[in-house]
Chain A
Amino acid sequence: MNEIDQIPKKHLLSLQLDVSKFEPASAEEKEQHSQMREPSTFFKDGMKKLFKNPLAVGSLIVLLLMIITIVFAPMIVPYGYEEMITVGGVRDKTAKNMPPMQFSELEQQAIANGEEIFPHIFGTDALCRDYFIRVVYGARVSLSVGLFASLIVLMIGLVYGSVSGYVGGRTDLVMMRIVDIIYSLPDLLMVILLSVVLDPLLKDAIAHTSLEKIGTNMISLFIVFGLLYWVSMARLVRGQILSIKKNEYVLAARALGAKPVRIVKKHVLPNCISVIFISTALQIPNAIFTESFLSFIGLGVQAPMPSLGSLANAARQGLESYPYKLVFPAVAICLIVLAFNLLGDGLRDAFDPKLRK
């Protein structure tokens, strides 16, 4: 006899279940039950939602294609971003301002002699340089500026916001007043100002170092991002931490004697990582915007190094005759920013619907 049958007889008014009416589940039924739903994590759930969003998937594909192009194109295309086109070791002065997919006279002669010459996909610029490779390098510069600037913002904002939110009290008050003041400064103007100032100051400091190549403007751009743009990230992190700090598991961890750094690292940050991740993704197009804006008004990357903004600026001379020189970098900027915006929207919808306004 089963042990369940040994349960004492049911009282007349008792609410106790009548065990004899139940039967044990068969092995098959148990199997079925356990297969009903696969275990899913928050991350998996979010990714599933993200991949159901056609716009987000589309922008992801566009971004991947672009990244593949800017990584591999310089290996395939035999031109450099700062060298004149040379045919048979001779500088080709006829290859000036050529429209896309055209060859210069010297090159045509070389082709007639049986040489193979890589086509100029986007034509050439006024200094006889292959424009495709310049746009590729420009996109490289713009994308890496966006990524690095966002990472700087993330790191500073994360540390500052965590300390302010976790420590609380007077420290929090002082730290947040500083944030308030920086936040109220008009950021783009301050960026312009600091770029103007840092340029001559940094020039001597970085001369003859490996940093010289990326130029003062680029470094000052990073400094400026590090100085000004972290404040909204710090605010966001602080807000998240304040709300998570109130949870019982944090209290439990503290009662067990965990150190504050450990609590923040192991209990608090993992719970707000999605929000932080999304706003970092949304910060990237912002940084690209700023970089291209600065390059456009002449405060961006150093001269031979192209950026999408400085290419667009350079294209203004002779705009009527060579409009394609504007179109290529302009389309590249718009595609990058659009893709990041749509991807950011998708990430937000997938991981944190509450963020949506």
Chain B
Amino acid sequence: MEERTTHMWKYILKRLGLAVVTVFIIITLTFFSMNAIPGGPFEKEKAPDPAVRAVLEERFHLNKPVGVQFLYYIADLFQGDFGISLKTGRDIMQTLTESFAVSARLGGVAALSALVVGLVLGSIAALRRNGVFDRVIIFFTTLFVSVPSFVLATILLLTFCLKLNWFQVWSATGQQNYFLPILALALYPMSYITRLTKSSMLDVLGQDYIRTARSKGVAESKVIYKHALRNALIPVITYMGPMVAYILTGSLVVETVFTIGGLGSKFVTGITNRDYPMIMATTIFLAVLMVIATLISDLIYKLVDPKISFD
């Protein structure tokens, strides 16, 4: 037991180290690749006066070598300063936090509903194997994992907003109905979790300890909740990291399609406008979120499953 604990701490430290290295690499990659783009911020059509330009370059350290600029950038990052947007001139950190609040609500609900619905449907499909319900679920989940999020979002928008008029088109001031965007984000992870739960549940139900529990006369509901479902959850935990990544990148298109002013649509607008500081900031922000999500899901996975060694 003691040995396991030290192994566990070693593992956690190792993963933390890897995460820090990853984040550093992401920042470096983002910074230097953006700096490799020819042309500076003042070489546009509205070129400022040379004197003004010198002052501005001094202010933003643009007259220093790239390496020094990089150090300044990192120092600014640690103070929560992502610079200002080339397009709007607004402070990026402020834009990020504002729009992330919208995205987090959207993504959070999507992730939670994907998890809950996926687990329930997957368990039912496994318990009623080869029944009508199982077949229907498997049919739809196979279909939904093949539909890209942007196709799904546009088709939902077309069918339910424009043709059937069940929901109003999203607008910042008017009615804010989150149902369709959440559906567009959640269907893929939900289908994936359903399939994952089904196969891992079937795997667990075939194990000896389930037979033992049943032969001891444990009530069927208890066998399922306490023994089967708990163990079947373990593979689902590993999917949490990829799911967060999927939802964050999915929000790029879903928010654009539904014109929601979240982080995703800000990112896409940044790309369209070639607003490099904005692209840099959003990339780093989203990447760090994804790295953290993967780290947490991997750690939980290792902690929950006693069979796994910390090598």
Contacts and interface: CB of A to CB of B under 8 A. Distances in A.
A189 B151 contact: no
B68 to A, nearest CB: 21
B154 A297 contact: no
Residue among A186, A293, A298, A319 facing the most chain B CB atoms (10 A cut-off):
A186
Interface in B138-194: 142-143, 145-151, 154-155, 157-158, 162-163
Contact of B271 (A196, A309, A334): A196
A221 interface: no
A259 interface: no
B155 A193 contact: no
Contact of A186 (B21, B199, B253, B287): B287
A341 interface: yes
Residue among A193, A289, A292 facing the most chain B CB atoms (10 A cut-off):
A193
Given A184-B18, A189-B287, A194-B33, A334 B151 contact: yes
A192 interface: yes
A293 B158 contact: no
Interface residues of A, number: 42
B101 interface: no
A327 B199 CA distance: 33
A276 interface: no
B271 A292 contact: no
B146 A186 contact: no
Contacts of B274: 196
Contacts of A186: 26, 245, 249, 286-287, 290-291
B37 interface: yes
A200 interface: yes
A341 B256 CA distance: 27
Contact of B286 (A189, A201, A298): A189
A285 B146 contact: yes
Nearest to B203: A357
B22 A189 contact: no
Chain B interface size band reads 35 or more
B25 interface: yes
A184 B151 CA distance: 27
A299 B253 CA distance: 13
Contacts of B257: 316
A337 B150 CA distance: 14
Interface in B235-279: 235, 245, 249, 252-253, 256-257, 268, 271-272, 274, 276, 279
A296 to B, nearest CB: 5
B29 A342 contact: no
B165 to A, nearest CB: 11
B147 A334 contact: yes
B25 A185 contact: yes
Contact of B146 (A200, A309, A337): A337
A190 interface: yes
A342 B139 CA distance: 11
Interface of B: 18-19, 21-22, 25-26, 29-30, 33-34, 36-39, 142-143, 145-151, 154-155, 157-158, 162-163, 196, 199-200, 235, 245, 249, 252-253, 256-257, 268, 271-272, 274, 276, 279, 283, 286-287, 290-291, 294
26 contacts: A180-B18, A181-B22, A185-B287, A186-B245, A186-B290, A188-B249, A192-B271, A193-B283, A201-B36, A292-B150, A293-B150, A296-B150, A296-B253, A298-B268, A298-B272, A299-B271, A313-B150, A316-B154, A323-B163, A330-B151, A333-B148, A334-B146, A338-B143, A342-B142, A357-B196, A357-B235
Interface of A: 180-181, 184-186, 188-190, 192-194, 196-197, 200-201, 285, 289, 292-293, 296-299, 309, 312-313, 315-316, 319-320, 323, 326-327, 330, 333-334, 337-338, 341-342, 356-357
